[in-house]
A and B are shown apart, each in its own frame.
Chain A
Amino acid sequence: MMAFDLVPLFPELFLAVTGMAHLIIGVWRGNHSTHFIFWASAATYVAAALILMGVSWGDAIVLNGMFKFDNFAGFMKLIILLGLLASAALSVKYLDDEGVSRFEYPVLMTFAGIGMMLMVSANNLLALYMALELQSLSLYVLAAFRRGSLQSAEAGVKYFSLGALSSGMILFGISLIYGYTGTLDYGTLSATLLPMQSIPVGITFGLVFLLAGLAFKISAVPFHMWTPDVYQGAPTSVTAFFAIVPKIAAMGLIMRLLFEPFAPVSGQWDQIVWFLSAASMMVGAFAAIVQENIKRLLAYSSIGNMGYALIGIAAVSSTGAGAVVLYLLIYLIMTSGVFAVVLSMRRNGKAVENISDLAGLSQTQPMLAYTMAILMFSMSGIPPMAGFFGKLVIFQAAVDAQMYVLAVLGVVTSVVAAYYYLRIIKVMFFDTPAPAFDGALPFARRAVLTLSVVFVLGFVLRPSLAIVIAKNAAGALFAG
Chain B
Amino acid sequence: MIIEALAFYALAGILTLSALLVITVRNPVHSVLFLILGFFNAAGLFVLLGAEFIAMILVIVYVGAVAVLFLFVVMMLDVSFADLRKGAMQYVPIGLVIGAILLSELILVYSVWGFAPETLDNRAAPVEKFEGLTNTEALGNVLYTDYIFPFQLAGLILFVAMIGAIVLTHRSRPGVRKQSVADQQARKASDVLEIRKVQTGSGA
Contact = CB atoms under 8 A, between A and B. Distances in A.
Interface of A: 1, 16, 20, 23, 63-64, 66-67, 102, 104, 107-108, 111, 114, 118, 126-127, 130-131, 133-134, 137-138, 140-141, 144-145, 147, 156, 176, 180-183, 188, 192-193, 195-196, 200-202, 205
A201 B122 contact: no
Nearest to B123: A182
B91 interface: no
A1 B153 CA distance: 20
A176 B102 CA distance: 14
Q: Is chain A's interface secondary structure helix, strand, loop, or mixed overall?
A: helix
A415 B199 CA distance: 98
B160 interface: yes
B167 interface: yes
A201 B112 contact: yes
A107 B160 CA distance: 9
A130 B148 CA distance: 12
A202 B109 contact: yes
Contact of A141 (B105, B108, B156, B167): B167
B163 interface: yes
A188 B122 contact: yes
Given A137-B161, A202-B113, A144 B156 contact: no
A127 B150 contact: yes
Nearest to A128: B150
Given A64-B147, A127-B150, A130-B153, A195 B164 contact: no
- Highest count of chain A CB atoms <10 Å: which of B110, B119, B160: B160
Contacts of B105: 205
Nearest to B119: A182
B119 A16 contact: no
A377 B101 CA distance: 46
Nearest to B163: A104
Contacts of A16: 156
A182 B116 CA distance: 10
Given A114-B156, A127-B153, A130-B157, 18 more contacts: A1-B146, A23-B163, A102-B167, A108-B163, A108-B164, A108-B167, A130-B150, A137-B160, A141-B160, A180-B119, A181-B116, A181-B119, A182-B119, A183-B122, A200-B112, A202-B110, A205-B105, A205-B109
Contacts of A140: 164
Contacts of A127: 149-150, 153
A136 B115 CA distance: 34
Interface string B135-166: 00000000001111110011011011101101
B164 A200 contact: no
Contacts of A20: 159
Nearest to A114: B156
A182 B122 contact: yes
A133 B167 contact: no
B149 A67 contact: yes
Contact of B164 (A67, A141, A181, A196): A141
B150 to A, nearest CB: 5
A138 B119 contact: no
A192 B118 contact: yes
Contacts of B118: 192-193, 195-196
Given A67-B149, A200-B116, A205-B109, A192 B156 contact: no
